[in-house]
Structure 1
């Protein structure tokens, strides 16, 4: 008897509609809290609407994870639809409590859910769902799929470069002095994920040097293993992301590359104009 398995993720993955339909993925929206209310990502606002709000916001917005009640409701609906279990790939627990809430919600219902801490966000979450589906289609059981996805979390990379430190200052990540000096001296910080948490790795002068630093990280992984595909990620900065993509394809013509927006919840902290790279090495 074939096991019917549901896929669940949150909007940190930024899946497009074709991917959602192809893999039958159920989405739990993350939210942004402005003075005028709570807005669910992809449901109550588009990326463009978010950045319009962010530019004029008098109070710095906050981010919010999906409510446990929403998760419980989804799990119960999936059970009613005849699913035997679900695999839930969530944004890093170092960024959000979504993974912990998913575990709690799973214990509250009579339905088997396998919550996975991606230890990252964005593009690698997409690859985890793709890898899982491929293994299921080849006849692997759920436990083997979970093990493979957890292994993938250890080989997933994401680094980004905020255009400035204004939003990081507003969200309390850096001091006002740091933000002022960074803007004055054109100092760029490079933020990379380290064991599930975003960490400021480098400070360099000028965006060009920052991009080279991140590209060097990619080159290093390419020397150690295989990186068939990358994603150039951004916060409402598709133009610069496309330009970076073209630069990379000139150096690596056989590389598969795409441009992906980051979740607006990243935009709350990193700010508009952010760009970066993400990949999974094998």
Structure 2
């Protein structure tokens, strides 16, 4: 006798840095990082510490997104009538296209099942917060419509800022000009970037950690308001836990934090940022989220 399907399950990529929990309807598709001719699955056979050790030794990685076949396998394993799949913006990755094709393939195989692919409009910590909000509801057995609406709401509300210790890794990926990276490193200034609606922009330019932390505080309050509601805070770093801890403490000074977590950036994202990146995402808590995951 087969077990009844769940009303809703969540599929998300490993860039969200969220642990898989199949018993609660949460499934994670690993991204891939490639050194030379060998590919590793993000968070499966390569940890962040192992990745940054190889990066520090001078090895240059490339990355690749999950194939439609890998997404299809995850959708099959989800065993739910309705699957919500969260991806980072199509402007940043082919992930959304792969998941969309896999959803069509599953619809041909099993017409009674539905897969909905949602672009969260975020990446890294922002994407991770949206995934956590959706996973919370999946774990409670909430219907797909409720999970979808919370994911869309979180995607609109989340704010994300980050800074890099150097722009050289972004320059290698072609995302910033090499000359700009060199000048920034030479004069010792660090840009603070904001990711909003799938687009990255420079929000501030600072010199020194103290000014950087004050800028993070100011930017958070500008977005959340001077008297913000309790927030869900996710601090992220790339091989920089001490700096991330100071950022977390600075944000706790000015924000009413209801839930807080500090995570290491996934190696696939670290391939673009390099070590030393710190940042955060935050959004208002809703309903029972402040009480913890079921």
User: TM-score normalised by the shorter chain: which range applies?
Assistant: 0.7 to 0.9
Equivalent residue of 2:80, what SS?
coil
Change (3 A) 1:201 1:104: same
State the alpha-carbon separation in 1 of the partners of residues 169 and 253 from structure 2.
33
Do structure 1's residue 46 and structure 2's residue 47 form an aligned pair?
yes
Aligned residue number for residue 241 of structure 1: 244
Aligned pairs for 1:91-102 within 5 A: 91-102=88-99
What CA deviation, in whole Å up to 9, does each residue of 1:23-68 have, x standing for no partner?
Answer: 341110111122132211011211011111112245x322211011
Aligned residue number for residue 173 of structure 1: 175
- 2:279 aligns with one of 264, 268, 276: 276
Structure-2-length-normalised TM-score:
0.83
Aligned residue number for residue 195 of structure 2: 193
Q: Check conservation: 2:14, 2:266, Cα contact below 8 A.
A: yes
What CA deviation, in whole Å up to 9, does each residue of 1:233-260 have, x standing for no partner?
Answer: 1111111111222233344475543211
State the alpha-carbon separation in 1 of the partners of residues 275 and 12 from structure 2.
24
Shift of 1:3: 4.8
Change (3 A) 1:23 1:170: same
Structure-1-length-normalised TM-score:
0.86
Change (3 A) 1:141 1:191: same
State the alpha-carbon separation in 2 of the partners of residues 124 and 169 from structure 1.
23
State the alpha-carbon separation in 1 of the partners of residues 270 and 49 from structure 2.
11
Do structure 1's residue 56 and structure 2's residue 57 form an aligned pair?
yes
Q: Check conservation: 1:34, 1:57, Cα contact below 8 A.
A: no
Aligned residue number for residue 65 of structure 2: 65
State the alpha-carbon separation in 1 of the partners of residues 138 and 236 from structure 2.
28
Q: Check conservation: 2:8, 2:25, Cα contact below 8 A.
A: no
State the alpha-carbon separation in 1 of the partners of residues 141 and 189 from structure 2.
51
- 1:216 aligns with one of 209, 212, 218: 218
State the alpha-carbon separation in 2 of the partners of residues 43 and 248 from structure 1.
31
Change (3 A) 1:113 1:250: same
What CA deviation, in whole Å up to 9, does each residue of 1:118-154 have, x standing for no partner?
Answer: 1112344444344445556778642343133112211
Change (3 A) 1:139 1:7: closer
Change (3 A) 1:149 1:12: same
**Unmatched 5+ residue regions in structure 2?**
286-294
Q: Check conservation: 2:231, 2:256, Cα contact below 8 A.
A: no
Change (3 A) 1:153 1:189: same
Q: Check conservation: 1:190, 1:200, Cα contact below 8 A.
A: yes
State the alpha-carbon separation in 1 of the partners of residues 188 and 73 from structure 2.
48
Aligned pairs for 1:128-143 within 5 A: 128-132=130-134, 141-143=143-145
State the alpha-carbon separation in 2 of the partners of residues 202 and 114 from structure 1.
36
State the alpha-carbon separation in 2 of the partners of residues 98 and 112 from structure 1.
19
**Unmatched 5+ residue regions in structure 1?**
none
What CA deviation, in whole Å up to 9, does each residue of 1:206-263 have, x standing for no partner?
Answer: 3332332222111123326424221221111111111222233344475543211122
Q: Check conservation: 1:231, 1:260, Cα contact below 8 A.
A: yes
